[in-house]
Amino acid sequence: MIEASKLTKRFDDITALDNIDASIKEGEVFGLIGTNGAGKSTFLRCAAGIYRPDEGSISIDGEEIFENRSVKQKFFFISDEQYFFSNANSLEMGSYYKSIYPSFDMGRYRKLLSDFGLSEKRKINTFSKGMKKQTAVLLAVCSGTEYIFCDETFDGLDPVMRQAVKSLFAADMANRKLTPVIASHNLRELEDICDHVGLLHRGGILLSKDIIDLKLNIHKVQFVLKKDEDEEKLSPLNIIKRERRGRLMTFTIRGNQGEIKSVMESADPVFYELIPLSLEEIFISETEVAGYDVKKIIFGE
């Protein structure tokens, strides 16, 4: 487990991380969402022991990370801009990481290079951005580490390769309880893979919840009432957003699905239906209640 307690990191007069408390459980995919400058990369670099916290702490399995070699063998860090030795090819980088990570699986690495259409002998500095990211991911999954830290790993990958990388993570999670921590500015990229999502904003965590809990506790309902007065019968609902287009009404409601259905049926509508919300819609609803505009926070709109 990764635990951050009052984690704070400053760069001169800029506070990149501000008293962050977070827990990342083993065997789950933790997504860090936020715009550039929100603190995602700084958090990962603290988790990787690259930065020493100015205040607070961050630990892996109860041990501090900074300047702790034994703990650093538990994770592989894929930075936003991958670093490879000058003039090295894929096979040479695999040999290098095998000397660092005792569990590095060279046989699997060579097979995955072939599966992904990546040359063993071609110099990596001649690869495209997407190919470099693919190589970094393959090195990471073959390292045999318990944790993988991914900084904008899916950025630059085409849709097919994104799905291939997600499948690799899923397979390793099933086989050896891998824990990926993925930072991204794109909420849509993480929706189908994350178990838990944290929204970073101005160095702090604005929202951090399990995906299942989020989806079970908030619902969208579309309906048409026989009479406008019947809307009073829906007053027991915890309505956090209302929209109306002619007679068609759409409510975003917090609460238990069974209770929502019971109240809706008591109003005897012409029809009603519960519509699944996307993760983006859930975040928008949650943060609007807190007084934030998540569209501006995540998408810079």
Average model confidence (pLDDT) across the chain: 88
Distances (CA, A) of 153 to 81, 140, 184, 220, 255: 9, 11, 8, 32, 35
Amino acid 288: pLDDT: 62
Q: Which range, 16-30, 96-110, 143-157, 176-190, is most confident?
A: 96-110
pLDDT tens per residue, range 5-64:
999 999 998 999 999 998 999 989 999 887 777 889 999 999 999 999 999 999 999 999
- Say which amino acid occupies 226: K
* 213-299 classified as CATH 3.40.50.720: no
216: left (phi over 0), alpha (psi -120 to 50) or beta: alpha
CATH superfamily placement of domain 2-202? P-loop containing nucleotide triphosphate hydrolases (3.40.50.300)
How would residue 292 be classed by pLDDT, with cut points 50, 70 and 90? low
Model pLDDT for residues 142-163, shown as the tens digit of each residue = 999 999 999 988 877 888 888 8
Q: Where are the domains of the chain?
A: 2-202, 213-299
